[in-house]
Amino acid sequence: MIKDLIERMLKGDKKATARLITLVENDEEKAREIVKKIYPFTGKAYIVGITGPPGSGKSTLLDKLIKKARQEGKIVGVIAIDPTSPFTGGALLGDRIRMQRHSTDPGVFIRSMATRGSLGGLAKATNDAIKVLDAYGCDVIFVETVGVGQIEVDIVKTADTVVLVTVPGLGDDIQAIKAGLMEIADIFVINKADKEEADKTLFELELMLDLEREKFEKRGWRPKVIKTVATLNKGIDELWSVIKEHEKWLKSADKLKEKRRFRAEEEVKTIVSDFIVSKVSKELKNNELYELVGKVANRELDPYTAAELIMEKTLGVKV
């Protein structure tokens, strides 16, 4: 059945592709089987991460970028990480609905993924979904995350080009969050730049970047700052061409290879960690180990000693 789905996907069947993503998202065993089979067909898609605080207009911006990519005849994949939950059933956001109109375009594949489940789970599921879209034939895959937490950082970090969207005149903690993302962003977008404080924000950003001049010189790429008004389609052409400029630089400087090696290493480690945790979780249902955890809860045993005992018993690993 998976073999059949993959064959259909490789022929460009959207339904089969959607089904495969659902499988990698929900079934660890099947994810393994699918990724093993499709991996040789991956590596062609260029991955653009888009992140930023809530309300910065990322989805509208993305909507315009999809249009640009389509005008160039590119096959486009979109993975939108939704901050919804099993509690609400995962309602689509307003902006997302607008973006969905591209869904009827056979050259665009849009997929929402919910932040339910574990931390590592989402990052891994996103990674696997990227592979499916890559094998499907996408030339460019946009990964959009709403939110500004560490998990979003971890997800966009896996992108080839990271676009950080902000808006003029946000409060103190947004500034701090932006700082936290500064080192991973390749391009800064000041969206809603028709607002009064846009130039002040631009100035501040450039100043922050100037302070790190040496670091960027060493790296070879100083993040660009672009003003846009996504709703009015302003600045989109420039943003798109800077994304391509960054891609060109990455490729010429052999940085893409380096980035992808790093990503491969992270991925392998995540798989190892997930496997071990799932194995340990299963074994913790066994009486003896269950009691061990009870002792930790009652402060009769510290968690490190418990972890050591559990590793020894379930994995045969001595600390």
List binders of its own copies among 85-144 (CB under 8 A). Answer: 85-88, 91, 93-95, 115, 119-120, 122
Residue 284 near its own copies by CB under 8 A? yes
Cα 280 from Cα 283, distance rounded (Å)? 5
Q: Which of 144, 154, 160, 247 binds its own copies (CB under 8 A)?
A: 154
Query: Is the Cβ of residue 69 or residue 201 nearer to its own copies in the bound state?
Result: 201
Question: Nearest approach, Cβ of 14 to its own copies (angstroms)?
Answer: 24
Query: Is the Cβ of residue 195 or residue 263 nearer to its own copies in the bound state?
Result: 263
Residue 82 near its own copies by CB under 8 A? yes
Question: Nearest approach, Cβ of 184 to its own copies (angstroms)?
Answer: 9
Question: Nearest approach, Cβ of 75 to its own copies (angstroms)?
Answer: 19
Give the per-residue contact string, 286-305, with its own copies (x = CB under 8 A; - = no).
------xxx-xx-x--xxxx
In the chain, what's the furthest Cα-to-Cα distance? Answer: 65
Question: Nearest approach, Cβ of 187 to its own copies (angstroms)?
Answer: 16
Q: Which of 3, 251, 257, 282 binds its own copies (CB under 8 A)?
A: 257
Q: Within positions 13 to 72, which residues make up the interface with its own copies, using CB under 8 A?
A: 32, 35-36, 39-40, 42-43, 53-55
Residue 285 near its own copies by CB under 8 A? no
Q: By CB under 8 A, which span of 72-80, 199-207, 232-240, 277-285 interacts with its own copies?
A: 277-285
Residue 319 near its own copies by CB under 8 A? yes
Residue 280 near its own copies by CB under 8 A? yes
Q: Within positions 175 to 214, which residues make up the interface with its own copies, using CB under 8 A?
A: 176-177, 179-183, 208, 212
